[in-house]
Structure 1
Amino acid sequence: MKIIGIRRLRGPNVHLSRPAIVARVRLDALTGRETSDVAGFTERILRSLPGLAEHHCAAGAPGGFVSRMRGGTYFGHVTEHVAIELSHRIGRDVSFGRTVAAGEPGLYDLIIECPVDESPESTLPAELLATAVSLVCSVAGGEPVPAATLGEHLAALAALAEREATGPSTRSIIAAARRRGIPVERYADLSLLRLGWGTRRRLAWAAMTDRTSGVGVDIAADKQVTRRLLEDAGVPVAPGGAARTVEEAIGLLGTLGAPVVVKPRQGRQGEHVVLNLRTAEEVARAYAAAGGDVVVERQLGGRDYRALIVAGELVAAAERVAAHVVGDGKSTVAELVASTNADPRRGVGHARVLTRIELDDTARTALERQGCTPETVPAAGRQVWLRDNANLSTGGTGSDVTDRVHPDVARLCVRVAALVGLDIAGIDLRLADIAAPLPPTGEQAGPAAGVIEVNAVPGLRMHLAPVRGRARDVGDAIVRAMFPGGSDGRIPTVAVTGTNGKTTVTRLTAYLLAGTGLRVGTATSDGVSIDGRLVYAGDATGPRSAQMVLGDPGVQAAVLETARGGTLRRGLGYDWTDVGVLTTITADHLGQDGLDSIEDLAHVKALVAERVRDGGTLVLNADDPWVRSIAERPRVRADRKRVVWFGTDSRQPVLAEHLGRGGTAYVLQDGWLVQATGGRRTPLLRVAEVPGAFGGAAPYAAVNALAAAAAARALGASPDVVAERLAGFEPRVDNPGRGTLLRLGEVSLFVDYAHNPAAIATVLRTLHRLWGPQRCLAVVTLPGDRRDDLLAASAQVLADGVTRAVLHDDEDPRGRAPGEVSALVEREMRARRPLLQAVRAAGPRAAVEAALRLAAPGDVVLVLYEKLAPMLDLLADLGAVPGDSTVVHAGRLAAHPGRAAEPGRGTVRPEGAAAASAK
């Protein structure tokens, strides 16, 4: 058995609402074999992983999976469960798994949940799966992995998980944001978070936000600047000064009097901070260990406290106690340290709520002052100190004292944070008792208590999980400060999906919303645009592009085209939207990504409907039976969403019933685009005036306009704005490549991206209405990743709809041999119409030039393209200029008011839904 590919679904997906990985596994020698075929397999694997006995599987109760193994199940299924059990063993919280056949014997897809905030770049899922495959193969082969070996693998995996995981501070912010419904994205394996979307987007890096002053951070980082700034403001601080030479440091000892503290001027996390220094030799050693450039301060008496200030408010305080052990009369100091470090709350660095104690040179020095070594056995109850400073990063602990803080102390700490210029600050103090008032400072020998340090990006661990006292949800305090007033950090968001029409509906919806004064971000198959300007060119219909829009701080509303490919391969790029639009669902992309039928395609498209938030609006095409069926799916839960239909006929049963209940729909009626609510009708725009509808000859353009109007109205656009903006939409500029009309001499060129049977048929019906069937010819290229039967269906529709055709292949054959697609299309067209004039050309330029030679004055050439920009450049180079759709409609349609299609010539199938436009 081997893993042949892994992909990560970063957001909600067709399997579940959380991230997952999809691993394709080939069983090889285990193909067709079941667990019951391998004697003793179940018992051997349970000895290695006894936790499998608790797995439910389909039985819905513990022991269900063991029953399946004993009864016989495939080894791909076993690997899925083993990977989940290994995850549990290293503390990785996952529970969902599914195994599905991947199209050929012995080939399976394992879908396994991932923790929501695990880095998308994490190697851990692959490592876990590799371990699971190795374990299953070994057990199946009669050679179980020794417990010690498995333990080593698990220890390595646990260490990797801990390295890649967010720390407690970051986790607390993520959890608080999610409770508020604020979307959160983690960048790679960093502690950098993006909370919210668009103009409401905020950034946080652990306990630092995008509003944290850079000046404040620099001040806090320089201990001498901090103490001077505070001292000048009358804040009680320890007397002291900076020393750049060892002589200056020793001189300060003489001036201040022992004991003193030596700390690096730019130090952090308590590194190289040495307390209780009384002699010149001790100061010299501390100076050298700190690397020079130090601050020497008189050591203040009292207890160590940390106060956390967030947005001008004291939100938590803790008493800090330096790393120590307590003797039991039997164990050595080293053994006591090992026992203390065995606490599961302790880890390396900041990954856990407490840090392990290190028996390093600093600890040995502290022990020496107490007359101890690591081998000393302290008496029962004796406290043995391993550090002088109380930082958690050096093994210290914290006890909550928030409720005991005296108002004087709270006011002082708030003032200190403001003086330094920090929105979030950890204020370290030495006080006799934090519950007592502070004496005023003045001209005296120096304070007996005061501020000893100010920390930017303070650690939150001591407040989140104190060893004693109440835990404080300081992550929530930070999130409240970032998003005041209960804001969820979201902007109005529309997702558009379907087979045909989705690009046009996306662009048109964005155009309508821009008319309300919003800066709109848009992702389509042609790229990402921010406020009408293209910032990224390329197919932008997947999760990365959605995040590009939602993460832009200039965006006030987002309209996201959401395609099948990105959804299946990477999941959605958002959790919820306010509006979901489904245009049409028809045969396309079948045979790709495990989609074999339109029903499979509908299942993928339904995800957009499912992820419309409660209270949001679902905009559905009443003319399309597959779209209608989505409204009935249990996971769509239309009872918790507002459903708005659009369609060509208000008398259609679904529309009529909906309107009869007082619902809202957008329909074509008496030559108008109409908003209908119950029995009330609000006309928006005449169909003949809809840009791109060619005076009504292209009804799909009007239906697309209905869908966009419904989405824009759902987000608050007024009927007047919708009508005005609809009339001002310029397809050639605002929707290029979708029904773009050009002229070259006496020949018209109709450029469109139709590339499936329904879309091609819809476009050809429009051309027949405007120019007549005999006037139509086509330049044809079709994508090679379509199944043969879909390419054949497209060819047959073309054969019915044009009199002449020039065929060429996409530059990217998408897995086909050169010339294979055009040969297939030509063969199918000739089989449909043996006398059809069809030729093949080498590339788009040769194809267009050949079509122009075939065209007569007054003809129209349908140009289907692979990439829009090169095709438009090519046509411009040949002399094409923008055409006038008004002239075409008035002249051509009026000139042939009664033209009837000749037998075998005007019949364009399949009819499809009225909104089956070019994409």
Structure 2
Amino acid sequence: MKIESLRRLRGPNVYLSRPAVVARLRLEELTGRETSDVTGFTERLLRALPGLAEHHCAAGAPGGFVSRLRGGTYFGHVTEHVCLELSQLIGRDVSFGRTVSAGEAGLYDVIVECPVDESPGSRVPGELLDAAVDLVLDIHAGRAAGKPSARLAELAAFAEREATGPSTRAIIAAARRRGIPVERFDDLSLVRLGWGTRRRMAWAAMTDRTSGVGIDIAGDKHVTRRLLGEAGIPVAPGGVAATADEAVGLLRELGAPVVVKPRHGRQGRNVVLGLRAPEEVERAFAEAGGDVVVERQLDGRDYRVLVVAGEVVAAAERVAAHVIGDGKSTLQELVDQVNADPRRGVGHSRVLTRITLDEARFKKTDIPSEGETVWLRDCANLSSGGTSRDVTDQVHPDVTRLCQRVAALVGLDIAGIDLRLPEIAAPLPPTGEDEPVAGVIEVNAVPGLRMHLAPVRGRARDVGDAIVRAMFPGGSDGRIPTVAVTGTNGKTTVTRLTAHLLGAGGRRVGVTTTDGVYVDGRAIHLADATGPRSAQQVLGDPQVEVAVLETARGGLLRRGLGYDWSDVGVITNITADHLGQDGLDSIEDLAHVKAVVAERVRDGGTLVLNADDPWVRSLATRPRVRADRKRLVWFGLDPDNPVLTEHLGQGGTAYVLQDGWLVQATGARRTPLMRLTEVPGAYGGAALHAAANALAAIAAARALGARPETVAGRLSEFDPRVDNPGRGTLLRLGDVSIFLDYAHNPAALATTLRTLHRLWGASRCVAAVTLPPDRRDDLLAASAQILADGLTRAVLYDDRDTRGRPAGQVSALVEREMRARRPQIRAVRADGFREAVTTALAMTGPGEVLLVNYEKWEPMWAFLGELGAIPASAHPVVPIAPAVRATPQLARNLTASPRSGQAV
């Protein structure tokens, strides 16, 4: 048994609404075998992992999985549950798993949930799955005697290193509670909160508004104390020393005791307190590496006050690392007892840090007397093992005003201010000529939040929420209006149309399509950009005010969605395409994938569905879609469709083609928007699919507040040749028309050919055709039959990327199927698109049309330009039957401007 591949689904997906990994697992020698076939397997597995007894499995209650084990289940299923249990044992709280056949005997996909904030590139899921496979194999072979403790400890340490620290976790948790989207960057503590123009960035307790000048000031302890001192803030007397002699001189000048600390130090490292003798100062100077600050040590207690956006949000008394003797245990044993606290970890990974014993100062074997406190560190930093006590409610107003002023003087939006005070609840002693007895001893940029999040004593403070509130004032959720578009055909056009309609008034729209990523009409990345990474490019761009995201099957299946929720979801249609890929065997499977876009429309958002498509209609009744929580809007070309009639009868809204007009219908009201004959790309009404695409886009734009007159005006300005290249683009080459389109499946080809027949007639259509080689043979055959029915002459060529097929195989299959369907058809094969177009043009007579479809838009467009093809300024229009005749009621309003928004 082995894992052949692993892929990460970084967002909501077809399995669940959270990230997951999908492991392709080959059972090999265990194919066809079940747990009941292996004597003692269940008992050995439960001894190794007793927690499996609590797994529900399909039974929905504890013990369900054990019942499956004893009754007999396959080993892929066992691996899934073992992986989940190992995850729990290392503190990685996940519970969802599923194992499904991958299409052949002994091959399975094991799907296991991932923590939502785990790094997208984390190695932990793969390591856990490997450990699960090894454990199952060992137990199957009778080699595993006990719990996999050593490997678990290694995995736990690995997961902890990759996890965010407590400060970042607190900010992420607070953002998620408010519905703010969060995206972690790699395995760092850098996170993006919100989208587009509302996007903010945070790195632990530092935000994108944290002043670089403020960070530099706080990082230089000498500059900080001078700046504050000159502003009248009480600070400890002291100075900077570049040599040991200067440090000793400051001791004599200030008087003992003094503190020596690195001028640019952090986290309390090499800070030494209570120095009285010159040799002590010299030693501290050397340990600090030179360039130190020497200060008079103030009496009192150590406090940390957290200021966020000018407000004091938390305060804690800090207590240095220490142990208390019991008269029996050695110093090392006492330290080990303290470190056994599960809240303590290495570095900043947990709310407390483990204590390390400084063997230069202490002997491990010393036994402190009972009740004796041994202070292991001079400074009270949590990073050196200290603890904290919450004193937020005790802070005196004098201290509050002092800390607010300090943060403003240094120029930090988030500041941790260290104070030495007799008591934080008491008024500050007056300042004057005398040396201060209390004051500020340090200002920290990017302060640690651990002491406030989980104090050893006192109330925990949700300082992560305070930071998020400051970053997103007024209850903002950090989101921008977002439209997601999916379907089989038309989704690129609907995406471009929607973006165009929403760009009114100069709004910057970010768009993802099969051709690339665009921001404000400019390409920033040219590629098939319909997956989660492209969506994140748009959503992470601080210039984007509105996002329109084409969301295709491939990216969704292989990587999941690139966003958690959209405001509007549009499903254009669902027809046979891509079957045989990624485990999709039927249109029902395809509908299941497309349904994810419908499921992830937020509560209160708008779901736009095609009433003319039976598979799209079925999405509205899916339990996970929860259409009752969304505003359902239909669009369609048949105003008498029963779905539309019922919906409008209940007061709903739909966008329909009625009496030759694109109309907004709400209940009994009708608002004419644009004549069908004026719809860009509809070629006088011959291309009815252009009307369907326009209706879908209008529905999406209206859902985000676009006004009817604005929508109509913007739609009339849409130039398909410029704004939607390669989708029904008409060119002229002498007396020949060239119709350039991406149609590449049976439904799209049938729609395109119907348009050409309406414009030129069935006998005057020639084609230069390529079909995608990654389609199943039956789908290629269906496309070939459509072509045979709609053409008299055709030149067939193959995509340059054969997707693993032998060269020429697809065109040969298509030619064979076309001749079988229509023996008299003239069909030839060509080598590449250049030869195919040249040959097809030679077959096309004056007044006829050549349909050209393509693998890649840019090289085809460039080649047609080389041949001298130019954009057509006009096109033949064949009368569309039946003739457009308005109903008497609607006719009275159609004489009004379609941009007036006048409703019936």
TM over 0.5: yes
Q: Does 1:7 align with 2:44?
A: no
Structure 1 stretches of at least 4 aligned residues deviating more than 4 Å after TM superposition: none
Give the distance between the partners of 1:18 and 1:634, measured in 2 at CA.
18
2:312 aligns with one of 303, 310, 314? 314
Q: Does 1:339 align with 2:337?
A: yes
CA offset digits 1:245-303 (Å, max 9, x no partner): 11111111111111111111111111111111111111111111111111111111100
Q: Does 1:408 align with 2:398?
A: yes
2:213 aligns with one of 206, 212, 215? 215
Shift of 1:517: 3.6
Q: How many residues align?
A: 882
The corresponding residue for 2:232 is 234
Give the distance between the partners of 2:562 and 2:607, measured in 1 at CA.
18
Contact map agreement 1:230 1:416 (CA 8 A) in 2: yes
The corresponding residue for 2:889 is none
The corresponding residue for 1:453 is 442
Query: SS of the counterpart of 1:889?
Result: coil
Give the distance between the partners of 2:335 and 2:466, measured in 1 at CA.
35
Task: Give, as a single letter, the amino acid of the residue that structure 1 aligns with 2:845.
Answer: A
Give the % identical residues.
Answer: 76
Q: Does 1:73 align with 2:47?
A: no
Give the distance between the partners of 2:868 and 2:626, measured in 1 at CA.
53
CA offset digits 1:217-253 (Å, max 9, x no partner): 0100000000000000000001111111111111111
Give the distance between the partners of 1:145 and 1:395, measured in 2 at CA.
38
Contact map agreement 2:52 2:85 (CA 8 A) in 1: yes
The corresponding residue for 2:524 is 535
Query: SS of the counterpart of 1:634?
Result: coil
CA offset digits 1:640-669 (Å, max 9, x no partner): 110010001221100000011111000011
The corresponding residue for 2:650 is 661
Shift of 1:146: 4.7
The corresponding residue for 1:917 is none
1:881 aligns with one of 870, 891, 895? 870
Contact map agreement 2:429 2:437 (CA 8 A) in 1: no
Q: Does 1:475 align with 2:464?
A: yes
2:379 aligns with one of 389, 392, 414? 389
Query: SS of the counterpart of 2:92?
Result: coil
CA offset digits 1:422-480 (Å, max 9, x no partner): 00000000000001111232222x21110000000000000000000000000000000
Query: SS of the counterpart of 1:387?
Result: coil
Contact map agreement 1:318 1:462 (CA 8 A) in 2: yes
Give the distance between the partners of 2:203 and 2:305, measured in 1 at CA.
20
Contact map agreement 2:82 2:132 (CA 8 A) in 1: yes
Give the distance between the partners of 1:786 and 1:86, measured in 2 at CA.
40
Task: Give, as a single letter, the amino acid of the residue that structure 2 aligns with 1:12.
Answer: P
Give the distance between the partners of 1:145 and 1:554, measured in 2 at CA.
59
1:377 aligns with one of 361, 364, 367? 367
The corresponding residue for 2:89 is 89
Task: Give, as a single letter, the amino acid of the residue that structure 2 aligns with 1:481.
Answer: A
Task: Give, as a single letter, the amino acid of the residue that structure 1 aligns with 2:87.
Answer: S
Query: SS of the counterpart of 2:458?
Result: coil
Shift of 1:16: 0.4
The corresponding residue for 1:514 is 503
The corresponding residue for 2:900 is none
The corresponding residue for 1:758 is 747
The corresponding residue for 1:225 is 223
Once the two structures are superposed, the pairs formed by residues 503-902 of structure 1 within 5 Å of their partners are 503-884=492-873, 887-890=874-877, 893=878
Contact map agreement 2:236 2:298 (CA 8 A) in 1: yes
Contact map agreement 2:44 2:145 (CA 8 A) in 1: no
CA offset digits 1:140-187 (Å, max 9, x no partner): 11211554xx21100100000100011111111011001100010110
Give the distance between the partners of 1:859 and 1:145, measured in 2 at CA.
79
Contact map agreement 1:516 1:717 (CA 8 A) in 2: no
Task: Give, as a single letter, the amino acid of the residue that structure 2 aligns with 1:387.
Answer: R
Query: SS of the counterpart of 1:88?
Result: helix
Give the distance between the partners of 1:360 and 1:533, measured in 2 at CA.
60
Query: SS of the counterpart of 1:177?
Result: helix
Shift of 1:360: 2.5
Task: Give, as a single letter, the amino acid of the residue that structure 1 aligns with 2:671.
Answer: T
Contact map agreement 1:277 1:283 (CA 8 A) in 2: yes
CA offset digits 1:672-714 (Å, max 9, x no partner): 0000001110000000000100000001001100000000000
Task: Give, as a single letter, the amino acid of the residue that structure 2 aligns with 1:713.
Answer: R
Give the distance between the partners of 2:607 and 2:2, measured in 1 at CA.
43
2:176 aligns with one of 168, 175, 178? 178
Give the distance between the partners of 1:455 and 1:836, measured in 2 at CA.
80
Contact map agreement 2:518 2:525 (CA 8 A) in 1: yes
Contact map agreement 1:752 1:863 (CA 8 A) in 2: yes
Shift of 1:357: 0.3
Contact map agreement 2:454 2:460 (CA 8 A) in 1: yes
Structure 1: gaps (5+ residues): 368-372, 899-919
Give the distance between the partners of 1:180 and 1:864, measured in 2 at CA.
48
The corresponding residue for 1:484 is 473
State the superposition RMSD in angstroms.
Answer: 1.1
Shift of 1:409: 0.4
CA offset digits 1:888-909 (Å, max 9, x no partner): 134xx26x999xxxxxxxxxxx
Give the distance between the partners of 2:709 and 2:505, measured in 1 at CA.
10
Give the distance between the partners of 1:146 and 1:403, measured in 2 at CA.
50
Give the distance between the partners of 2:871 and 2:724, measured in 1 at CA.
14
Give the distance between the partners of 2:706 and 2:284, measured in 1 at CA.
68
The corresponding residue for 2:249 is 251
Shift of 1:374: 2.2
1:399 aligns with one of 389, 405, 411? 389
Task: Give, as a single letter, the amino acid of the residue that structure 1 aligns with 2:371.
Answer: G
Query: SS of the counterpart of 1:657?
Result: helix
Contact map agreement 1:622 1:628 (CA 8 A) in 2: yes
Give the distance between the partners of 2:461 and 2:822, measured in 1 at CA.
77
Shift of 1:516: 4.2
Give the distance between the partners of 2:547 and 2:493, measured in 1 at CA.
15
Contact map agreement 1:135 1:145 (CA 8 A) in 2: no
Contact map agreement 1:520 1:532 (CA 8 A) in 2: yes
Task: Give, as a single letter, the amino acid of the residue that structure 2 aligns with 1:794.
Answer: S
Task: Give, as a single letter, the amino acid of the residue that structure 1 aligns with 2:154.
Answer: A
1:430 aligns with one of 397, 420, 423? 420
Shift of 1:50: 1.0
Task: Give, as a single letter, the amino acid of the residue that structure 2 aligns with 1:399.
Answer: R
Give the distance between the partners of 1:530 and 1:816, measured in 2 at CA.
37
Contact map agreement 1:241 1:297 (CA 8 A) in 2: yes
Query: SS of the counterpart of 2:111?
Result: strand
What TM-score, normalized to structure 1? 0.95
Query: SS of the counterpart of 2:876?
Result: helix
Moved more, 755-764 or 135-144: 135-144
Give the distance between the partners of 1:360 and 1:22, measured in 2 at CA.
47
Task: Give, as a single letter, the amino acid of the residue that structure 2 aligns with 1:650.
Answer: P
Query: SS of the counterpart of 1:95?
Result: coil
Give the distance between the partners of 1:667 and 1:853, measured in 2 at CA.
42
Shift of 1:376: 1.4
Query: SS of the counterpart of 2:483?
Result: strand
Give the distance between the partners of 1:770 and 1:865, measured in 2 at CA.
21
Query: SS of the counterpart of 1:748?
Result: strand
Q: Does 1:50 align with 2:50?
A: yes
Give the distance between the partners of 2:367 and 2:325, measured in 1 at CA.
7
Give the distance between the partners of 2:855 and 2:113, measured in 1 at CA.
37
Query: SS of the counterpart of 1:467?
Result: coil
The corresponding residue for 2:287 is 289
Task: Give, as a single letter, the amino acid of the residue that structure 2 aligns with 1:889.
Answer: P
Structure 2: gaps (5+ residues): 883-904
Contact map agreement 2:358 2:376 (CA 8 A) in 1: no
The corresponding residue for 2:892 is none
